Amino acid sequence: MIRLLLLMLPLAFSGAVHAAEPVALDEPVAATVTEPAATKEATADADDDGEAAPPQVRVADPFIDLHTGPGRGFPKFQIVERGGLIQLLERRTDWFLVRTAHQHEGWVHRDQMVRTLTEDGEQLEVKEISQHQFAAREWEFGVMSGEFEAASVISLYGAWAFTENLSLELTFGHVMGSFSNAEYLTLHLTHQPFPEWWISPYFQLGTGYIRTDPSATIIQTEDRSEQLTHVGIGARTYLTRRFVFRVEYNNYVVLTDRNNNENVEEWKAGFSLFF
């Protein structure tokens, strides 16, 4: 038995040598792993100020440009080379305000930020708002303007998309005519069958109230409030970032207490933002 153990000794050694060799070769690896420790100290220093330290990233491109303002035309006044650490202070549209190790502050475009690395060595993920996000939007807010029969109309609306195709919309409209003004509020269901299309059609069906206020200077009648229902058809097209252009037609039936219901046509166009 002892003989067996003695025979196995060289085996154990050969294992140990294998394990030790690469360590000797890869000493620089050990040096690089200590570097984040220094980073941590810097972070800890910032934490002492009481505020949460801004997130830091490491430049992975050969260099990134710092502009004096958040726009493509602003001059580049600094660069940070590969490996340099930068703190992310603020974002405005597609631009990030960053602070370098030398305390220079400047603006970097999103396209360069996506090629930086986090402290874990992973690529920084920056949300890019695109048509894809538009199809998956949850909220949409917009402004439209056009004609409501012979009058002008401005409407504000908010929509909550509970599936990719269906959304619930609340619209407030302000109608300004020569003989009367009106305000309406409608709640409707919007169906968008092809959300991924460049020009995407939609249909809507809803109900609401309209309050009509005849112009005081022309006729002396009382304000009246009536229920209305409507059907509509429209189309959206994605423009840029969170921005969408939209045009629609609505046909309203105002349920009056007179002999005939009133039929009103509305055309309008506008812009909306989605989130």
* Per CB under 8 A, 256 contacts another protein: no
How many residues in the shown chain lie near another protein by CB under 8 A? 71
Under the binding rule (CB under 8 A), the answer on residue 6 touching another protein is no
Question: Of residues 48-77, which lie at the interface with another protein (CB under 8 A)?
Answer: 52, 54-55, 57, 68-74
Minimum separation from the CB atom of position 210 to another protein (A): 15
**Residue 34: HSE in the Cβ half-sphere, 13 Å Cα cutoff:** 5
Binders of another protein among residues 131 to 170 (CB under 8 A) are 143, 145, 151-152, 154, 156
Place of tokens 């260099």: 63
Quickly count: other Cβ atoms within 10 Å of residue 142's Cβ: 21
CB 81 within 8 A of CB 66: no
- List the one residue from 2, 6, 19, 150 that touches another protein (CB under 8 A): 19
User: Which whole-number Å values give the CA distances from 58 to 92, 101, 103, 159, 171, in the listed order?
Assistant: 20, 11, 15, 40, 47
- Which position among 125, 219, 258, 259 is part of the footprint of another protein (CB under 8 A)? 125
If the CB atoms of residues 143 and 231 are measured against another protein, the closer one turns out to be 143
Among 61, 65, 119, 262, binds another protein (CB under 8 A): 119
Q: Say how many C-beta atoms besides its own lie within 10 A of residue 181's C-beta.
A: 17
Whose CA is closest to 114, among 59, 62, 65? Answer: 59
Which residue from 101, 136, 166, 176 is in contact with another protein, where contact means CB under 8 A? Answer: 176
